[in-house]
Amino acid sequence: MKTFDEEMKATNPVRRMRERHGFTRADFARATGCPYPTLLRAENGLTSSLPRAVLEAAELCGEDPATLAGEYAEWAVRLRAAYARKERD
């Protein structure tokens, strides 16, 4: 059974994009030039919006950066709401 954090991270659009292209985090960072710490922060929901390096990496992979940014923003809202609910319980 997945933990709360695992479930939320599994739905992160940046992580889904990376995995869809068959990359580990390290391989994605090397292949796209996106700094590993930047990618990690985005995948863990520690950025309010996607850093430019992640958007540029997405474009290199043939993804639409605007779509990814929108999906990430929606996911981040759900993540913060879920954490707020978790703290109240």
Q: pLDDT digit string (tens) for 52-66?
A: 999 999 999 999 999
Task: Quick: pLDDT tens for 15-71.
Answer: 999 999 999 999 999 999 999 999 999 999 999 899 999 999 999 999 999 999 999
CB within 8 Å of 28: residues ≥ 6 apart: 18, 21, 34, 39, 57
Q: What angle do CA 54, 80, 67 make, to 5 degrees?
A: 35
**Structural domains counted in the chain:** 1
What range does the domain containing 9 cover? 4-88
| CATH code of the domain covering residue 29 | 1.10.260.40
CA distances from 16 to 43, 87, 89 (A): 9, 26, 29
CB atoms within 10 A of CB 77: 10
**pTM check: above 0.75:** yes
